[in-house]
Amino acid sequence: MVCPHCSYSEIITLKQRTTLGYERFRCRCCGRRFNERTGTPSDRVQQKRQVACAKSTQAAKQAITLYEDFSYLYRCVLAELNVFDRYGNLRDRQQAEEGIKVCLALIEQLKRNAITEAVNKVRRTLPDLFHYLDVAKKVVDEFKALPLPEECLKAYFIAWQWGKAVRKAKKSDRKNTAQ
Ligand SMILES: [Zn+2]
């Protein structure tokens, strides 16, 4: 047995074996440690596998992070599209526009071409996108003219929005989180 690093022949056998049960040694010359399989073809195959495994683990982690970031921001965009806030107040058109612009800018920072293209499409629709809030304001004003307590109206608006979200949710798991 010679050291695979410096080819020196004086080596010390270490007490502890590798996790796979191979004998471990230390070189008296260069001081480096190695085992029975260091530098052998099977060792190189395993090293390649470990590198490939580490690379795909990292890629998977990055993909998960991207998905989580996007999914969070997408939910923020959906929230900006709501007609009413969670207390049943009609949302302000200008605020909704500002809010969605912030979301889109953050989504753009994910730096994915396909996503950025979609962001730009949404941006082009922005001037008209929130027109429905103006329409909703007229309807809400009509409701407010009715002799009904404001709390009832607000509860009705929240229920209406929730019902709309449930109808829109195509997958059953989204029905549970509809807002
Ligand atoms: Zn050595």
What secondary structure does DSSP assign to 100-113, as a single string?
A: HHHHHHHHHTT--H
Which residue pairs from 132-137 have beta carbons closer than 8 angstroms and sit at least 24 positions apart in sequence?
A: 132/83, 133/83, 133/90, 133/91, 133/92, 133/93, 133/96, 134/93, 136/83, 136/90, 137/90
Per-residue pLDDT of the chain (179 residues; tens, 9 = 90+): 889 889 999 999 999 998 888 999 999 999 999 998 888 877 778 888 889 999 999 999 999 999 999 999 999 999 999 999 999 999 999 999 999 999 999 999 999 999 999 999 999 999 999 999 999 999 999 999 999 999 999 999 999 999 988 888 866 565 556 55
Residue 21 and residue 71: Cα distance in Å, rounded? 45
Residue 139 confidence (pLDDT): 94
Ligand 1 centre to CA of 34 (Å) is: 9
Distance 55 CA to ligand 1 centre (A): 30
- Tell me the CA–centroid distance for residue 110 and ligand 1, in Å: 48
pLDDT of residue 19: 85
Cα-to-centroid distance, 49 and ligand 1 (Å): 25
Q: Is the pTM for the entire model greater than 0.85?
A: no
pLDDT of residue 176: 58
- Percentage helix, strand, coil for the chain under 3-state DSSP, each rounded to 5: 60, 5, 30
**Burial of 50 by CB count in 10 Å (0-12 exposed, 13-18 middle, 19+ buried)?**
exposed
Q: Is the dihedral of CA 47, 53, 56, 57 positive or negative?
A: negative
CA of 20 from ligand 1 middle (Å) equals 22
CB of 8 closer than 8 Å to CB of 25: no
| Residue 91 DSSP label | P
pLDDT, residue 109, reads: 93
CA–centroid distance, 22 to ligand 1, in Å, is 18
- pLDDT value of position 42: 78
Token code pair at residue 164: 């709309």
Report how far ligand 1's centroid is from the alpha carbon of 5 (Å).
5
Whole-number Å distance, alpha carbon 25 to ligand 1 midpoint, is: 10
| CA–CA separation, 90 and 80 (whole Å) | 12
CA of 74 to the centre of ligand 1 (A): 57
pLDDT (0 to 100) of residue 40: 81
Task: Identify whether the C-beta of residue 12 lies closer than 8 Å to the C-beta of residue 1.
Answer: no
In angstroms, what is the span from residue 41 Cα to ligand 1's centroid?
19
